[in-house]
Structure 1
C-alpha cells in the first residue's frame, strides 16, 4: 500500500518505462526510482532540456536517453508512465497500446502516493488562472496548500517532499487526464469547455472524453464546482455522483456563487442559507469579465476547503493575475500593450478580444491547432482597428480573416511590434493573443510572451516591462 492506502501500480524491482523527459516525465522518473522501480526514461525529441534531464537522471542512477525509444525495453516493462507532452497519436503510444502494456499518466503515479487532499481543476480556458487563484486564496487564509500539475510544479514532486502539504490544487490538462485510473479529487472544478487541441485529437468528442475523466471515480463524497453558465459543462457532469455547486454570472437559488444585482461576488453553500458577500467585482485586479467567473470558481473551491467569506474576499482583492495571461506590458504614447501569450487557442483569444471595450490591434499567429479562426470575426468586427498575423498560421489567418479588418503579416516578433505600433492610435489596445501554439518559433508560450514584452519595451526605449518580464 502507498502512504494513503491506495494500491501501488508496481513492486520494488519491477521495470517501469517513462515516456517523455519534460518536467513531468523527469519528475515521474525520480518518483518511481525513489519507490524502488527499475526505471528506463526516454524521449524521441532531443533538445537542450531533454539532454539536461538525461544528464541529471543518469547522475542519480536512472537509465535515460533522448533521440530514440528502446521499444523492446519499453514493451518488457511492468508499467508505462506517460508525460503530457507525448501526443495520443504518437507512434510509441500506439505500439505500447497494441502490446497491451499497462499505461498510466504521471498524475496517476503521483496520486497513488499523496497524503495531501486534492482540488482538481480542468477546462479549456482559464484553468491556470483559476488554479493559481484558488491556491492563493487557500494560502492567504492560512491553509497549508500548494499548486501543482499543468501550472508548473509536477505533481510527482509532491510525494517526495519531506512533509506533504494538507492540500494540493492541481491543474489538469486533457493530456494529463487521459491515462488516469483511480484519481479522484476531493473537490473538482470544471471551468468551461470549448474546442481545443484538434491538432492532437482526431475529433472534438475525443478531446471531451478525456476532459470527462475528471468525473470517472466520483462517489457520494465528491464535491464538484461547475460553470453553471456553460451548457457543455453541465451536460458533461450529467448525473455524476456527489454534491455540486454552480458558479454563475446570474443570481441563482441553489448552492454556489454568483454575481448579484449590486455587482458583488457572493456565495451560498447551503440551499437555505443567506448569501455571504466576498467582494465587489470592481475590486478585482484581474482584467476582463471572464475573470469574474474564474474568481467565482476559485472562491467556491476555497469555501469547500473551509475558508470563510471574509478571507476569500481579501484573497480575491490581493490577487494580481498571472504572467502571459492578459498581462499589462505597459502603456506607451497612450497605447496599452497586453501580453496574452497563453491565449493558445481560438476560444481563449475570443475571450481576450471581448475583455476590452476600446479599439484594438490584434496580433494573431503561431502554429495552427486545427480550429478555424472564423469564430473570431464578430469580436474583431466589434473592436479591431487592424489584425497582424505572424508565424506558420499567418496564411490561414489572412485567408479566414482578411475581410474583417485591415490585415498585415509580420516575419517575426520585432516586425510584429513595429507594425502594431504603426497601426495603433492613442487610446487603443495592442492585444498579443495568438490563438495558436508557440511551437513554430518558440519552445513554449512563456518564451514567446517574454520575447514580445522585450520587443515592446525596446521599441519605446522604456527599460524593463511593467510586469517584470513574466
Structure 2
C-alpha cells in the first residue's frame, strides 16, 4: 500500500508503458521509474520536445523512443499510463483497449502516491483560471498549497517532491478524467459544461461522460462546488453523494456563494447562516461576467479548504489573471487589444465576445474542432464592427458568419493584426479569441498568443515593456 493507504497500480519490477512524451508523460515515466517499475515510454510524434524528453529519460536509465510505439512491448505491460495529449480515438489507445491491458491517466498513478488533500477542478471553459485563482487564494491565506494537473505542473511532479504540500489544486481535462479509477477529490469543482473537443470525441454525450467521472467515486464526505446557473452542471452532479455548494450570479438561500444586486460577492457555508462578504465585483482585476463566476467558484472552494472570508476577498482583489485569457495587450490610439488565445472553442469565444460593451473587431480562426460557429452570431450582431478569419477554419467561418458582420480573411497573424488596425476605430476592442485550436499554425495556444502580442506591438510601434501599460 502507498503511504496514503491507496493500493499501488503495479509492483516493483513490473513492466509499465507510458504513452506520450509531453510534460505529463515524461513526469509519469520518472515517477513510475522511481517506484521500481520497468518503464517503456513512447510517442508517435517526433518533435523537438519529444526528442529532448527521450534524451533526458535515457540519461536516467529509462527506456524511451519517439516516432513509433513498440506495440508488442506495450501490450506486454502490466499497466499502460496515458498522457492527456493522446486522443481517445488514437489507434494505439484502441489497440491497448482491445487487448484488455489496464489503462490509467498520469493523474491516477500520481494520486495513488499523493498525501496532499485535493481540490479537483474541471469544466469546459474557465477551469484554468479557476484553478490558478483557487491556488492563489489558498497561498494568500497562508495555506500550504500548489496547483497541478492540466494547468502545467504534472501531479506526478508533486508526488516526487521531498515534502508534499497540504493541498494541491488540480485542473482536470476530460482526457485525464477518462482514465481515472480511484481518484476522489476532497473538494470537487465543476465550472460549466458546453460542447468541446468534438474533433476528438465521437459525440457530445461521450465528452460529457468523461466529465462526469469527476463524481465517479463520490462519498458521503465529498464536497462539490457547482455552477448553480448551469443546468447541465446541476444535472450531472445530482446523482453524486456528498454535499453541494452552489455558486450563482443571483442571490440564493442555499449553501454557497453569490453576487448580490449591489455587485458584492458573498459566501454562506451553511444554509440559513448569516452571509459573509468577500469583495465588490468591480474590484476584481478579471475581465467579464464569466470571471465573476470563476471567482465565486474558486472562493467557495477556498472557503471549504479553510480560508476565511477576509483573506478570500483580499486574494480575489490581488489576482491579475493568466496569460492568453482575456489578457490586456495594451490600448494604442484608443483601441484596446485583447489576447484570448486560450479561447479554443466556440463557447469560450462566445463568452469573450459578451465580455465587452464596446464595438469590437473579432479575430477568429485556426484548426476547426467540429463545432458550428453559428452560436457566435447573436454576440457578433450586437457588438462586432467586423470579423477577420484566418487559418484552416477561415473558409468555414466565412460561410457560417458572413451574415453576422462584415468579414475579411487574413493569411497570417501579422496580416491579421494589420487588417484589424486598419478597421478598428477609436474606442473599439480588437479581440483575438480564435474559437479554434492552434495546431494548423502553432504548436499550442501559448505560442499563438505570444505571436499575436508581438505582432500587435510591432504594428503599433511600441516596445514589449510598453505593451501592457496601455
Question: Counterpart of 2:39?
Answer: 39
Cα deviation for residue 460 of structure 1 reads: 1.3
User: Shift of residue 404 of structure 1?
Assistant: 1.1
In structure 2, how many angstroms separate the alpha carbons of the residues matched to 1:230 and 1:442? 33
Distance 1:254 1:466 in 2: 46
CA-CA distance at 1:435 after TM superposition: 0.2
Question: 1:223·1:243 contact (CA, 8 Å) conserved in 2?
Answer: yes
Could you tell me which runs of 5 or more consecutive residues in structure 1 were left unpaired when the two chains were aligned: none
| Distance (whole Å) between structure 1 residues aligned to residue 12 and residue 296 of structure 2 | 44
The 3-state SS of whatever aligns with 1:267 is strand
The aligned residue for residue 408 of structure 2 is: 408
Distance 2:460 2:374 in 1: 33
- Per-residue CA deviations over 1:2-51 (Å, capped at 9, x if unaligned) read 11110000000000000000000000000000000000000000000000
Distance, in Å, in 2 between the alignment partners of 1:208 and 1:465 is: 42
| Contact 1:138–1:145 (8 Å) recurs in 2 | yes
CA 1:308–1:417: 2 relative to 1, 3 Å: same
Matched, 1:284 2:284: yes
Write the distance in 2 (CA, Å) between the matches of 1:144 and 1:253. 32
Deviations 1:127-176 (A, max 9, x none): 00000000000000000000000000011101100000000000000001
Aligned counterparts, 1:317-328, within 5 A: 317-328=317-328
CA deviation vs aligned residue, 1:354-380 (integer Å, no higher than 9, x gap):
000010000000000000000000000
Q: Secondary structure at the match of 1:213?
A: helix
Tell me the residue number matched to 1:331: 331
TM-score by length of 1: 0.99
Match of 2:112 in 1: 112
TM-score by length of 2: 0.99
- Answering whether residue 449 of structure 2 is matched by residue 449 of structure 1, we say yes
> Hey, what does 1:73 align to over in structure 2?
73
CA-CA distance at 1:272 after TM superposition = 2.2
Matches within 5 A, 1:227-238: 227-238=227-238
Indicate how the Cα distance of structure 1 residues 74 and 209 shifts in structure 2: closer, same or farther if over 3 A, else same.
Answer: same
For residue 464 of structure 2, give the secondary structure of its aligned residue in structure 1. coil
Cross-structure match for 2:253:
253
Deviation at 1:466, TM superposition (A): 5.2
Shift of 1:426: 0.3
Question: Deviation digits for residues 99-151 of structure 1, max 9, x if unmatched?
Answer: 00000001000000000000000000000000000000000000000000000
> Alignment partner of 1:80: what SS?
strand
Q: CA deviation at 1:239?
A: 2.5
Instruction: Work out the CA distance in 1 between the residues paired with 2:3 and 2:328.
Output: 44
Q: Is the 8 A contact 2:138 2:302 kept in 1?
A: yes
State yes or no: 1:22 paired with 2:22.
Answer: yes
- Per-residue CA deviations over 1:413-437 (Å, capped at 9, x if unaligned) read 0000000001100000000000000
**DSSP-derived class of the 2:455 partner:** helix
* Deviation per residue, 1:394-419 (Å, 9 max, x gap): 00000000111111110010000000
2:399 is aligned with 1:419: no
Deviations 1:270-328 (A, max 9, x none): 11210000000111000001100000000000000010000000000000000000000
Gaps of 5+ in 2: none
1:328–1:466: 8 Å Cα contact kept in structure 2?
A: no
| Corresponding residue number in structure 2 for 1:218 | 218
Q: Which residue of 1 aligns with 2:379?
A: 379
Residue 129 (structure 2) pairs with residue 132 (structure 1): no
Deviations 1:251-273 (A, max 9, x none): 11110000012210000001121
Q: CA deviation at 1:467?
A: 6.3
- In structure 1, C-alpha distance between the alignment counterparts of 2:170 and 2:275, rounded to whole Å: 28
Which 4+ runs in 1 deviate beyond 6 A? none
Alignment of 1:41-60 (within 5 A): 41-60=41-60
1:10 aligns with 10
| Equivalent residue number for residue 399 of structure 2 | 399
Would you say 1:431 and 2:439 are equivalent positions?
A: no
1:335-368 CA distance string (max 9 Å, x none): 0000000000000000000000010000000000
Q: Counterpart in 1 of 2:186?
A: 186
Larger deviation, residues 277-286 vs 457-466:
457-466
How far residue 468 of structure 1 moved from its aligned partner, in angstroms, is 6.5
SS in 2 for 1:118: strand
C-alpha distance in structure 2 between counterparts of 1:418 and 1:400, whole Å: 24
**CA–CA separation in structure 2 for the residues paired with 1:19 and 1:418:** 42
The secondary structure found in structure 2 opposite 1:355 is coil
Q: Report the Cα distance in structure 2 between the residues aligned to 1:202 and 1:428, rounded to whole angstroms.
A: 39
Who is 1:348 aligned against? 348
Cα distance in 1, alignment partners of residues 55 and 169 from structure 2: 30
CA RMSD of aligned residues (A): 0.9
Cα distance in 2 for residues equivalent to 1:89 and 1:467:
41
Q: Does structure 2 conserve the Cα–Cα contact (< 8 Å) formed by 1:364 and 1:432? A: yes
- The 2-side partners of 1:45 and 1:387 are apart by 34
* Residue 238 (structure 1) shift: 1.2
Does the 8 A contact of 2:330 with 2:468 survive in 1? no
Distance 1:209 1:106 in 2: 19
Comparing 459-468 with 153-162, greater Cα deviation is found at 459-468
- Matched ranges for 1:362-373 at <5 A: 362-373=362-373
Alignment length (residue pairs): 469
